[in-house]
Amino acid sequence: MNNGLKKYVLLLVVVFLSVDVQAQCAMCRAALESSDSGIKPEAVNDGIVYLMAFPYILVGLVGFAVYKLRKKKVAKAE
């Protein structure tokens, strides 16, 4: 088998043998299933959004700092 065919077969195996995963941890799922009102699920979803946004903000800040440093270095070289 050539390398391209091996990758294709591996991709097919992974796609067809993958199992469904839960979107939440077991504790979050249990808490949401036991709640009667819609307030708790909404709060969990808000928490997920906050947790998801934080790494993007950090990467953006680091990228901005690198951009500013490079811009300053290029201006200094000229």
Residues 6+ apart with CB under 8 A from 58: none
Q: What is the pLDDT of residue 48?
A: 81
> Taking 90 as the threshold, does the pLDDT of residue 50 lie above it?
no
Confidence of residue 20 (pLDDT cuts 50, 70, 90): low
**Considering the entire predicted model, what is its pTM?**
0.49
Q: How far is CA 43 from the centre of its chain?
A: 19
Q: What is the pLDDT of residue 2?
A: 80
Q: Where are the domains of the chain?
A: 3-77
**N- to C-terminal Cα separation, the chain:** 55
